[in-house]
């Protein structure tokens, strides 16, 4: 009986470790480094031309056809008012699967995938009402790096984005 009991204990330890550590895809926007949960990422692609949609907000660059699925593409640099937006060989589109909808997100570059333990994530500072932090999960620290960890699903399903239907939530 000790073997099945040991297996259960190991599974419980693995589950606890999973709650304590999360994997994030890190990327840059301007001079800042951000992280999003890796499980929300479907794929990473180079930036290609998009089909523009009339009367769409400026941050929605347009749509692309991804293997038969029409995917809206959001330029996060424009969304976050990061100034001069330049498209170069490092510009990528992170394809996300959020609330059953596929969405593309343009970023300056993708860095790597990192695992953060719970003690490496600090809560977002309170900026009162002058700055909305509801899309920020916290701030992650890895060596000398500071990552802004985003709740990408909450951001993309927000009413100001109008990308994903919130009826199911």
**Residues near 119 by beta carbon (within 8 Å), at least 6 away in sequence:** none
Q: Give the neighbor-by-neighbor strand order of the sheet with 121-122.
A: 109-117, 21-29, 32-37, 145-150, 136-142, 121-122
Phi and psi at residue 13, in whole multiples of 5°? -65, -45
**Percent of the chain at pLDDT exceeding 90:** 54
Domain 21-156 fold is OB fold (Dihydrolipoamide Acetyltransferase, E2P) (2.40.50)
pLDDT for res 134: 81
Consecutive H or E run containing 79 = helix 76-79
Query: 99, 108, 67: which is closest to 163 by C-alpha?
Result: 99
Q: Which residues of 74-84 are buried (b: 16+ CB within 10 A; e: fewer)?
A: bbbbbbeeeee
Q: What is the pLDDT of residues 20-36, one digit of tens each?
A: 459 999 999 988 999 99
Confidence of residue 117 (pLDDT cuts 50, 70, 90): very high
**Phi-psi region for residue 67, left (φ > 0), alpha (ψ -120 to 50) or beta?**
left
Confidence of residue 127 (pLDDT cuts 50, 70, 90): low
Model confidence at 133: pLDDT above 80 = no
pLDDT tens readout for residues 63-98: 999 999 999 999 999 988 888 888 999 999 999 999
């Amino acid at each position: 009986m000790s073997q099945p009991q040991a297996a259960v204990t190991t599974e419980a330890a693995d589950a606890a470790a999973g709650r304590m550590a999360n994997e994030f895809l890190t990327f840059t926007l301007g001079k800042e480094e951000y992280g999003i949960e890796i499980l929300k990422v479907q794929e990473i692609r180079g930036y290609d031309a998009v089909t523009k949609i009339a009367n769409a907000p400026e941050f929605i660059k347009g749509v692309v056809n991804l293997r038969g699925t029409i995917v809206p593409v959001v330029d996060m640099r424009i969304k976050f008012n990061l100034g001069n937006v330049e498209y170069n060989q490092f510009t990528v589109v992170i394809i996300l699967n959020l609330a059953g909808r596929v969405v593309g997100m343009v970023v300056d570059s993708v860095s790597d995938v990192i695992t953060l333990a719970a003690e490496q994530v600090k809560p977002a500072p309170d900026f009162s009402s002058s700055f909305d932090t509801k899309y920020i999960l916290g701030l992650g620290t890895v060596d000398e790096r500071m990552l802004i960890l985003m709740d990408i699903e909450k951001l993309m399903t927000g009413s100001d984005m109008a990308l994903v239907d919130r009826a199911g939530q």
